[in-house]
Chains A and B, each alone.
Chain A
Amino acid sequence: QSVLTQPPSVSAAPGQKVTISCSGSSSNIGNNYVSWYQQPPGTAPKLLIYDNNKRPSGIPDRFSGSKSGTSATLGITGLQTGDEADYYCGTWDSSLSAWVFGGGTKLTVL
């Protein structure tokens, strides 16, 4: 059971938009910044979003992040087949004094 809760899977058609939620508590998302990671099949994760909504250099603006209270959301617009991957949210948990990840969400582009 992960500290952060994500839906196991989401799907949408190419060109559409999808959102992935990440729910936590005041000890993690509520008082810390969230980052998001993309893991295509068989590869290592890659940083997509940090500081809730900042994109590292090279990440297209189709990817966006937001946070409200104890939840965060990753948005992906203009879906492409290459976006099929597992997506993980992560943040610091002040009560655990540990980094925590969500359980991951598998994105299928139909």
Chain B
Amino acid sequence: QVQLQESGPGLVKPSETLSLTCIVSGASISGSYWSWIRQPPGKGLQWVGYIFNSGSTNYNPSLRSRVAISVDTSKSQFSLKLNSVTASDTAVYYCVRGKLSLSYSYYMDVWGKGTTVTVSS
């Protein structure tokens, strides 16, 4: 059974860098899309971006200048860095596995439990 577990600081100061890690168990980290999705308090889901096969990345255009996703295959984990954070980056952050179906469509089939990050001084 594939499981994803997020970890990282729950509190980040404004203008600093938010860093989260997701440990993948029960599946190879190769060959899938590894994504971050966030959800501000009381609001809907927002796609942050993904990394595929340890190198190819794609980011939400609204966050592209501040975000980086990387993979450490040796540790079976992937990470998110979001710099210059503000209060609007306060959210529950989910790490998610993305897959391509036989129709070559992308969808997200396994979600972590989520970790709450608050941006505040």
Contact = CB atoms under 8 A, between A and B. Distances in A.
Interface string B77-121: 000000000000000001000000101011111111110000000
A45 B111 contact: yes
Contacts, number: 69
B interface: dominant SS: strand
Contacts of B107: 33, 35, 47, 50-51, 90
Contacts of A97: 58, 61
Contact of A2 (B37, B44, B59, B60): B44
Contacts of B101: 33, 50-51, 54
A44 B113 contact: yes
A45 B45 contact: yes
Contact of B61 (A50, A86, A98): A98
B108 A37 contact: yes
Contacts of A39: 45
Interface of B: 35, 37, 44-47, 50, 58-61, 94, 101, 103, 105-114
